[in-house]
């Protein structure tokens, strides 16, 4: 008996089976598609309304029990017409809250002021104990 080798047997011995690799690639593709759908960016959108009147909050009466924090163009911050640093906002808010526990705090931002400064000021106001912070806008 002679043993013959078939030409098909020799070719099948040297071939690489690609089925496991394709299964692996499909699993990776499915994994990345599913995780890409559930990725959410954290943040909030803020749109500043246009100012309806051009009166500034400092023009209000002194007996008004509202704390106005004004943000100017260059990133300067002022409370009651005196310039302060962003680190002093918390202390001023805590003092105001001690004097007027129900008094509102309004952050008045110029339309050209930096949004980062606005967020820092709002964070300091919340750290000062006021959770409901209102935002107002002034023109140009």
Rounded to an integer, the average pLDDT of 76-88 is 89
pLDDT tens track for 16-55: 888 899 999 999 999 988 888 765 666 666 555 555 554 5
- pLDDT recorded at residue 91: 92
Taking the C-alpha atoms of residue 77 and residue 121, their distance in angstroms, rounded to an integer, is 9
Confidence of residue 136 (pLDDT cuts 50, 70, 90): confident
DSSP 59: G
More confident residue, 133 or 55: 133
Q: Mean pLDDT across the chain, nearest whole number?
A: 78
Taking the C-alpha atoms of residue 97 and residue 67, their distance in angstroms, rounded to an integer, is 9
Asked if residue 124 has pLDDT above 70, the reply is yes
Rounded to an integer, the average pLDDT of 109-136 is 85
Rg (CA), the chain: 32
pLDDT tens track for 59-75: 444 456 888 999 988 88
Nearest-CA neighbor of 70 among 120, 7, 1, 137?
137
Least confident of 1-5, 12-16, 133-137: 1-5
Taking the C-alpha atoms of residue 58 and residue 136, their distance in angstroms, rounded to an integer, is 13
- pLDDT recorded at residue 40: 67
The token pair that represents 14 in the structure block: 């040297």
Tell me what percent of the residues of the chain surpass a pLDDT of 70: 70
């Amino acid at each position: 008996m002679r043993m013959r080798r078939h030409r098909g047997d020799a070719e099948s011995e040297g071939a690489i089976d690609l089925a496991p690799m394709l299964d692996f690639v499909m699993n990776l593709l499915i994994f990345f598609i599913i995780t890409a759908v559930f990725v959410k960016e954290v943040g909030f959108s803020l749109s500043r309304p246009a100012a309806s009147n051009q009166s500034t909050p400092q023009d209000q009466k002194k007996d008004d029990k509202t704390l106005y924090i004004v943000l100017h163009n260059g990133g300067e911050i002022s409370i009651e017409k005196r310039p302060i640093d962003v680190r002093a906002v918390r202390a001023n808010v805590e003092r105001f809250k001690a004097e007027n526990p129900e008094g509102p705090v309004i952050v008045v931002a110029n339309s050209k002021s930096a949004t980062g400064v606005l967020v820092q000021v709002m964070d300091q106001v919340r750290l000062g104990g006021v959770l409901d912070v209102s935002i107002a806008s002034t023109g140009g």
